[in-house]
Amino acid sequence: MTARPGSDGGPRWASFAQRCDDALLDPFLRHKLRHAMDLAVAGRLRRVSEEPRWEDMRDHAHAIRWHVVGALHTYLEQFIERAEARGAHVHWADDAEQARRQVLAIAREHECRRVLKSKSMVTEEIGLRHALESAGMVVKETDLGELIVQWAGEAPSHLTGPAAHKSRGDIGRLIAEQLGVPFTDDPRALTGLVRDHLRGDFLTADLGISGANFLIAETGSVTIVENEGNARLVTGLAPVHVVVAGIERILPRLADLEVFLQLLAGSNAGQKLTAYTSVITGHRREHEVGGPEHVHVVLVDNGRSRMLADPIMRPALMCIRCAACLNVCPVYRRVGGHAYGWCYPGPIGQVLGADMWSEQEGYDLAFGSTLCGACAEACPVRIDLPTVLLRLRQRAAEAEAPGGAAERRRFRLWAFAMRHPRIYRMLPNWLLRLGMRVAPEIPRRVAPGWVATRDLPEPAPQTFAQRWRSTGGFSHD
Amino acid sequence: MTEAAAAGLKRIREALQSSEMPELPPVLSLAPEETPSPQAMVQRFRSEFEALGGRFFWEPGSETATDRLSKLLRDGELRRVACFDVPWLTSLVRGAGVEPFEKDLSVCDVCITTAHMLVAEQGLIVMAASPWGPRAASSLSPVHIVVAQFAQLVWGLGDALARIGEVIEDGEMPSDIVFIAGPSRTADIEKTLVIPAHGPRELCVVLIGEAGPPAEAGAGEEPA
Ligand code: SF4
């Protein structure tokens, strides 16, 4: 079983709708998220507007990722061969449990006790930190946002900005408490405190764990992008480096990085490139100074080969985890990452999660979307996320899953009304107005959830169709 | 390859069975139609690198570069100097009056290295694992000064990757290559940009020469 919030003795798994309701009751959350997301989106749009080849790059990236996903076995085989030829040990994990066990075995084999991590969503997906900690190891996150949520005992709430849900005050109090220093909420001072605090850890760690943004089949290399420099230190100083990567994160050629690095950095928050891009190929060569003696790559399937076989889900494997779809999503921007109930939030998290948790939870996650299309418009590899969500809803309806049954009832009613225009025309007009006068408690009965936090307005005196007729349709010509 | 990996690959092959595989598109070239002039390359590098928060100096030859280094070290009060790199560089740094070199990166004030390449279009410094300097040379010291020859400057990221590609064809790929775009940074606290995070607080590039390495620099190892 894959770890997810609540499965480690936390609160019980509530429904997506329930978690959204809870999140919406927090007025500060929305404010903090809007501020952060607006900045990220503005950055991306600025970058897009100054880059004349942006749309070409997206088309190209889509073509490459679609090709790679369709020939995944070929490229994985090539990657494994070349990485092993350069001295890396490549492991294969069918599921989260296997992946955790493999990393643990590697740590034990090299007698590692002090473990540092750089940011990696797949290690969140497999619940790696808890597994290592329960085995008695000291594990510390080194990305500032990740360390903040680790200290807070929370999960990251955004793919690239794990502490997006926290204010500087929240973070200041947390750091003051953790490090025993006077309170400050100045981001510069706080960053400096954490920098000083982690310096000793970097110099003494005996195992560094990172994720991988791209695996390069041609060279057997692992590519890691970051801004803080923590991944440089995690992967470069400890004697053992373990890379945990999803099997889909492959690019065919080293030269493909030019487009993908720019798309990733630009789509995330408008950078041309992130401050550091590391291309790591095997362990330290004999003639080189420094670098780990042992490099292990753990390739994680955990449901991906199943998605590959599923024509609806396969496009989701093209994702490069840039977070652009979260930043623009009107749902994510209000409910934040924790409402999604597992490590991948936002539109891509809904798609992956609806598939992953369908047996336990139905297709709940696929329904929390307006299908407005903002995510598809932003996605650098042009994944048509709304269509995937729609197809998953269809699947839910066909499978009689809980969310699906309600949806089907609603649409049956809708279809009936659409087939009977007279009835449809009557509904919003006098019948509704009359109904609301005589029995104002009806909406509360029919849709208690909806009216609990909203007023149901009285319908306008004229319907759109009536106004259309009375103004003569397109009256401007 | 492990048995588990072979079994995993088999499962993927089966998952893909009935689907047709689209062609792999050729690498998209983002190179400009005309090769930019040396002047344009240096100008572009300067503006990009400075926009990222780096300090850039262009020196005509080794002598002025040595003067520039002494001035940088003096003004920044940088006394403990680490320098691990190629012979032409160490002699240049010695010329600036530095001796002996600090060996422990975690206590030095400044680390002076050369680069594998500089990339003009995005203002990048490319470093590769080498016999001369540890990976952490670009990360641990408070100040990092990169001294590079003009021949190490390429136009785009694509050019840099192609050059690395040539190295692979010759045999070994270094265990580590890093593309550095300005000093380390974070925006994890309310999206406020803070420099530095874990890397150097200051990043300087001293570029020597204009249309190729000056004669006196050719004495040691061939840079890049
Ligand atoms: S689905 Fe697209 S936009 Fe969303 S994280 Fe993945 S690549 Fe980025």
Q: Are B175 and B129 in contact (CB under 8 A)?
A: yes
Burial of A310: CB neighbours in 10 Å, binned 0-12, 13-18, 19+: middle
Chain A's closest residue to B53, CA to CA, is A275
Q: Phi and psi for B108 in degrees, rounded to 5?
A: -75, 160
Would the pLDDT of B110 be above 90? yes
Comparing CB atoms, the residue among A63, A227, A287 nearest residue B186 is A227
Place B117 in a pLDDT band, splitting at 50, 70 and 90. Answer: very high
User: Half-sphere exposure of B111 toward its Cβ, with a 13 Å CA cutoff?
Assistant: 27
The total number of residues written for chain A in this structure? 477
Per domain, the residue ranges of chain B are 37-213
Is the Cα dihedral B97, B100, B103, B104 positive or negative? negative
Residues 6+ apart with CB under 8 A from A47: A54, A266, A270, A271, A272
Using CA positions, which residue lies closest to atom 3 of ligand 1?
Answer: A379
CB A274 within 8 A of CB A267: no
In angstroms, what is the span from residue A109 Cα to ligand 1's centroid? 36
Q: Is the C-alpha dihedral spanning A346, A347, A352, A356 positive or negative? A: positive
Q: Distance between CA atoms of A222 and B36, rounded to whole angstroms?
A: 32
* Three-state DSSP state, A140: strand
| Neighbouring C-beta atoms of residue A380, cutoff 10 Å | 27
Within 8 A of A171 by CB-CB distance, chain B residues are 189
The parts of chain A modelled with pLDDT lower than 70 are: 1-14, 400-404, 426-429, 474-477
pLDDT at B148 over 80: yes
CA separation for the pair A309, A97 (Å, rounded): 22
Q: What is the predicted pLDDT for the residue at A332?
A: 96
| Interface test mutation site (partner A, options B198, B203, B221, max chain A beta carbons within 10 A) | B198
Task: Identify the H or E element spanning A16.
Answer: helix A16-24
If one residue of A267, A313, A331, A387 were mutated to test the ligand 1 pocket, choosing by the most ligand atoms within 8 A of its CB, it would be A267
Question: Any idea which of A300-304, B27-31, B132-136 has the lowest mean pLDDT?
Answer: B132-136
What is the distance in A from the centroid of ligand 1 to the CA of A378? 8
Once rounded to an integer, what is the mean pLDDT over residues B116-123? Answer: 96
Of all residues in chain B, the one with the smallest CA distance to A224 is: B178
With b for 16 or more beta-carbon neighbours within 10 A and e for fewer, the B72-111 pattern comes to: bbeeeebeebbbbbbebbbebbeebebeebbeebeebbbb
A243 lines ligand 1 (CB under 6 A): no
In angstroms, what is the span from residue B223 Cα to ligand 1's centroid?
Answer: 40
B173–A259 CB contact, under 8 Å: no
Report how far residue A304's alpha carbon sits from residue A356's, in angstroms, rounded to the nearest whole number: 9
Which residues does chain B have within 8 Å of residue A35's beta carbon, measured at their own beta carbons?
190-191
| B109 in Cβ contact with B143 (< 8 Å) | yes
Yes or no, beta carbons of B124 and A284 under 8 Å apart:
no
Question: How far is ligand 1, taken at its centre, from the CA of residue A388, in Å?
Answer: 13
Tens of pLDDT, residues A30-84: 888 999 999 999 999 999 999 999 999 999 999 999 999 999 999 999 999 999 9
Interface probe with A: pick from B176, B195, B203, most Cβ of A within 10 Å: B176
Q: For chain A, say whether B174 makes contact (Cβ under 8 Å).
A: yes
β-pair type (A214-216, A221-226): antiparallel
Residue-wise pLDDT for B159-177, tens only, equals: 999 999 887 766 678 999 9
List of residues 6+ apart from A279 with CB closer than 8 A:
A216, A219, A221, A222, A223, A254, A257, B176, B177, B178, B179
Torsion of CA A151, A153, A155, A157, to 10 degrees: -70
Query: In terms of Cα–Cα distance, which of B131, B118, B110 is closest to B56?
Result: B118
Q: Quote the ligand 1 centre to A357 CA distance (angstroms).
A: 20
- Say if B136 is an interface residue toward chain A (CB within 8 Å): yes
In Å, what is the CA distance from A232 to each residue of A25, A118, A227, A235, A275?
40, 9, 10, 5, 11
- Which among A211, A37, A30, A25 has a CA at the least distance from the CA of A119? A211
Q: Hey, of B154, B188, B190, which one would you mutate to test binding to chain A, going by the most A CBs within 10 A of its CB?
A: B188
Residue B148, phi then psi, degrees to nearest 5: -135, 155
Percent of chain B with pLDDT over 90: 67
Three-class HEC string of A246-275:
ECCCEECCHHHHHHHHHHHHHHHHCCCCCC
A390 vs A403: CA distance, rounded Å: 13
**Domains in chain A, please, with CATH?**
4-166+206-305 (3.40.50.10420), 427-470 (no CATH)
Alpha-carbon distance A427 to A9, whole Å?
49
- State whether residue B107 sits within 8 Å of chain A by CB: no
Interface of B with A in 113-132 (CB under 8 A): 122, 124, 129-132
Please, what is the end-to-end C-alpha distance for chain B in angstroms? 34
- CA angle, B180 then A326 then A373, to 5°: 125
Which residues are CB-contacts of A6 (< 8 A; sequence separation ≥ 6)?
A: A12, A13, A341
**ipTM greater than cut 0.90:** yes
- Contact of B197 with B186, CB cutoff 8 Å: yes
From A249, A261, A320, give the residue whose CB has the most ligand 1 atoms within 8 Å, as the site to mutate: A320
CB A404 near ligand 1, within 6 Å = no
Query: At B218, is the pLDDT very low, low, confident or very high (cuts 50, 70, 90)?
Result: very low
Question: What are B15's two structure tokens?
Answer: 């998952």
pLDDT digits (tens, 9 = 90+) for A307-362: 999 999 999 999 999 999 999 999 999 999 999 999 999 999 999 998 888 877 77
Helix axes A257-269, A54-70, angle to 10 degrees: 110
pLDDT of residue A359: 78
How much distance in Å is there from the Cα of A112 to the middle of ligand 1?
35
Above 90 in pLDDT, residue B135? no
Query: Cα dist. B138→A286, A393, B78, B106 in Å?
Result: 20, 50, 16, 12
A321 lines ligand 1 (CB under 6 A): yes
Please, what sign has the CA dihedral across residues B28, B33, B37, B41? negative
Q: Tell me the per-residue pLDDT of A246-259, one tens digit each, with 9 for 90 and over.
A: 999 999 999 999 99
Decide: A190 in ligand 1 pocket, CB within 6 A: no
Q: Residue A321 CA: which ligand 1 atom is closest?
A: 5
**Of A341, A126, A326, A356, whose CA–CA distance to A246 is shortest?**
A126
B87: cis peptide before it, omega within 30°?
no
Contacts of A40 in chain B (CB under 8 A): 191
Backbone angles phi, psi at A116, to 5 degrees: -115, 145
Q: Is A132 in the pocket of ligand 1 (CB under 6 A)?
A: no
Q: Which residue do the tokens 């680790």 mark?
A: A150
User: What is the reported pLDDT for B215?
Assistant: 44
Q: Is A416 exposed, middle or buried (0-12, 13-18, 19+ CB in 10 A)?
A: exposed
As given in the structure block, the two tokens for residue A382 are: 């042009």
What is the C-alpha radius of gyration for chain A, rounded to an integer number of angstroms? 25
Atom of ligand 1 nearest to the CA of A347: 4
CB of A325 sitting under 6 A from ligand 1 = yes
Shortest-distance Cα residue to atom 6 of ligand 1: A319
CA nearest ligand 1 atom 8, residue? A322
How far, in Å, from the CA of B19 to the mean position of ligand 1?
24
Pick one of 3.40.50.10420, 3.30.1540.10, 3.40.50.2020, 3.40.50.1980 as the CATH number of B37-213: 3.40.50.10420
